[in-house]
């Protein structure tokens, strides 16, 4: 999300006299809201007062006369080509029904045109008023060459390449569930490539249960959208899946099971496939209506169309850049600590010593800022290192009120031994990377942290 700060003097739109649906608290209230640059700014109960709008110029004003406003709905499992239209025409049809965002898996296009077809769908989905994310089709062909005659295929290398597009957030439904459970090498490589790229892995599991379902999920699969039954729905929830309900799954028995759950936060409404003539009369909105008709509480049914799909579509925490960097740092620290332990050092000691060896004596505050330590923790670390004879504090030649930290005098051979141990630990930790990949990693790290330069 791009940084945003609301204007102090202007709003593009003021909407008042609206009934607002809150899908978090599952409540509704009469209120008003403003929009600027495509973002909501004020969202308030009642009517706007002169004080609320003081100093603001308003571009457009609308009085909804008590009409209802709810968050835009997300369809996080669907295939645009099943509607026999292009992404642009799909947006024209579905957006008026309140579907503001979709996660498309263009697997029918990929079956014919392979990776080139997915690239075309990506390009055709850009710049539209409906936001379109894309899942890379995982099973192209859907089964294997001894069962069908494929026209195209998607390889793990193409998954890695396609995942670079910012709109790509998932690996599409792994339809060959038997193959994944059996350890099919190609499917495992597809999932591995997707996971390495930080993509969610979406599922398709109509008939597995028990240990076989557990093994399927253990490969990293996060969801299932196939025909549901009460027993299947409960088992999938117990095993950590997001359960996606399409129209054929919205039976009285399933809705009663959902309504009886103490926590429905992992239940989503999705369309999967919608024929073009049915787009004329509804999209995800049709599923909400059907769910309510079958006894699903209204506000909770609505929440399964905007809020819960948005949470499901978020990148899993363990696949985020921040998580990966943090985990890599912790693992590297373990390697370094093991390598320098024989020299009476820890990873924290080494980081401080390397900086001092490279830059010479430094004011303690500057050294702390370079290494990113908190003030209290860093002072304690310097105290311990000074007591161990690793560093010493010396008066600053330019400021008698402050001290510099400098490394203790070491024989050149001891310093060389420590550096050799560090280089060996780093080489072992990065052994799966080629020399160009190591250079690229260093460049990227320096880009996000100028202090590394």
**H helices of 304-411, where?**
307-313, 321-340, 347-359, 364-371, 375-387
CB contact at 8 A, 368 and 375: yes
Name the residue among 253, 248, 252 with its Cα closest to residue 269: 248
pLDDT band at 172 (very low <50, low <70, confident <90, very high): very high
pLDDT at 453 (0 to 100): 52
Percent of the chain with pLDDT over 90: 65
Q: Any residues with CB less than 8 A from the CB of 105 and at least 6 apart, and which?
A: 77, 78, 79, 134, 135, 136, 137, 170, 172, 173, 202
- Output the pLDDT for position 267: 98
pLDDT (0 to 100) of residue 354: 87
For 13, counting Cβ atoms within 10 Å of its Cβ (0-12 exposed, 13-18 middle, 19+ buried), the class is middle
Measure the CA–CA gap between 133 and 393, rounded to whole angstroms: 56
Q: Which of 264, 312, 278 is nearest to 133 (CA)?
A: 312
Q: What is the percentage of the chain residues whose pLDDT exceeds 70?
A: 95
Q: Name which of 27-36, 146-155, 253-262, 414-423 the model is least confident about.
A: 146-155
Q: Are 10 and 56 in contact, with CB atoms under 8 Å apart?
A: yes
- Strand, helix or coil at 283? coil
Counting every residue written for the chain, the total comes to 453
Report whether pLDDT(403) > 80: yes
Tens-digit pLDDT profile for residues 311-348: 998 866 555 666 677 778 778 888 888 888 888 888 87
What pLDDT score was predicted for residue 196?
86
Q: Phi then psi for 251, rounded to 5 degrees? A: -100, 165
pLDDT tens-digit readout, 72-128:
999 999 999 999 999 999 999 999 999 999 999 999 999 999 999 999 999 999 999
Cα separation of the two ends of the chain: 27
In the chain, the domains with their CATH numbers are 10-69 (2.30.40.10), 73-317 (3.20.20.140), 321-452 (1.10.10.10)
- pLDDT number for residue 318: 57
pLDDT of residue 12: 97
- In 3D space, the residue among 42, 37, 38 whose CA is nearest the CA of residue 14 turns out to be 42
Q: Indicate the helix (H) or strand (E) that contains 77.
A: strand 73-78
Query: CA-CA distance, 22 to 19, in Å (whole number)?
Result: 10
Task: List the 223-224 sheet strands across, edge first.
Answer: 223-224, 242-245, 267-269
Q: Which of 21-30, 227-236, 422-431 has the lowest mean pLDDT?
A: 422-431
pLDDT, average across residues 193-218: 95
3-state secondary structure 80-95: HHHHCCCHHHHHHHHH
The H or E element containing residue 124 is helix 107-124
Q: How big, in percent rounded to 5, are the helix, strand and coil portions of the chain?
A: 45, 20, 35
For residue 450, count other CB atoms closer than 10 A to its CB: 7
User: In angstroms, rounded to a whole number, what is the distance separating the alpha carbons of residues 185 and 174?
Assistant: 14
Locus of tokens 């710049």: 127
Closest CA to 359 of 402, 400, 406: 406
User: What is the pLDDT, as a whole number, of residue 321?
Assistant: 67
Look over the chain and give the mean of its residue pLDDT values, rounded to a whole number.
Answer: 91
State how far the Cα of 219 lies from the Cα of 216, in Å rounded to an integer. 6
Q: What is the DSSP letter of 174?
A: E
How far is C-alpha 305 from the chain's CA centre? 19
Q: What is the pLDDT, as a whole number, of residue 346?
A: 83
Which residues, 6 or more positions from 108, have their beta carbon under 8 angstroms from its beta carbon? 79, 81, 82
């Amino acid at each position: 999300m791009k940084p945003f700060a609301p204007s102090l003097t202007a709003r593009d739109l003021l909407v008042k006299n609206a009934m607002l649906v809150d899908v978090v608290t599952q409540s509704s209230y009469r209120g008003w809201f403003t929009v600027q640059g495509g973002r909501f700014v004020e969202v308030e109960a009642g009517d706007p007062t002169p004080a609320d709008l003081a100093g603001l110029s308003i571009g457009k004003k609308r009085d909804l006369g008590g009409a209802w406003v709810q968050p835009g709905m997300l369809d996080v499992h669907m295939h645009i080509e099943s509607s026999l239209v292009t992404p642009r025409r799909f947006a024209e049809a579905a957006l008026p029904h309140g579907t503001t965002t979709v996660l498309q898996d263009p697997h029918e296009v990929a079956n014919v045109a392979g990776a080139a077809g997915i690239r075309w769908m990506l390009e055709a989905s850009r710049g539209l008023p409906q936001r379109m994310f894309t899942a890379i089709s995982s099973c192209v062909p859907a089964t294997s060459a001894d069962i069908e005659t494929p026209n195209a295929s998607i390889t793990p290398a193409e998954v890695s390449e396609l995942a670079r597009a910012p709109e790509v957030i998932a690996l599409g439904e792994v339809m060959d569930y038997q193959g994944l459970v059996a350890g099919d090498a190609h499917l495992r490589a597809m999932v591995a490539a997707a996971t390495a790229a930080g993509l969610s892995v979406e599922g398709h599991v109509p008939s597995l249960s028990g240990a076989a379902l557990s093994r399927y999920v253990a490969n990293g699969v996060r969801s299932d959208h196939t025909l549901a039954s009460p027993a299947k729905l409960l088992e999938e929830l117990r095993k950590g899946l997001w359960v996606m309900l399409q129209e054929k799954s919205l039976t009285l028995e399933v809705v009663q099971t959902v309504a009886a759950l103490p926590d429905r936060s992992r239940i989503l409404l999705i369309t999967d496939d919608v024929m073009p003539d049915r787009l004329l009369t509804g999209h995800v909105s049709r599923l909400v209506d059907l769910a309510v008709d079958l006894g699903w509480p209204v506000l909770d049914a609505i929440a399964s169309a905007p809020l819960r799909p948005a949470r499901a579509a978020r990148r899993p925490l363990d696949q985020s850049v921040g998580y990966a960097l943090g985990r890599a740092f912790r693992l590297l620290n373990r390697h370094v600590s093991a390598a320098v332990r024989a020299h009476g050092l820890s990873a924290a000691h080494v980081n401080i010593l390397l900086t001092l060896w490279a830059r010479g004596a430094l004011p303690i505050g500057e050294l702390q800022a370079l290494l990113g330590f908190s003030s209290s923790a860093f002072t304690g670390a310097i105290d311990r290192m000074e007591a161990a004879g690793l560093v010493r504090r010396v008066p600053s030649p330019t400021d008698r009120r402050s001290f510099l930290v400098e490394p203790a005098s070491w024989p050149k051979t001891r310093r060389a031994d420590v550096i050799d141990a560090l280089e060996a630990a780093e080489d072992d930790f990065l052994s799966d990377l080629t020399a160009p990949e190591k250079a690229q990693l260093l460049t990227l790290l320096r880009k996000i942290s100028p202090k590394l330069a």
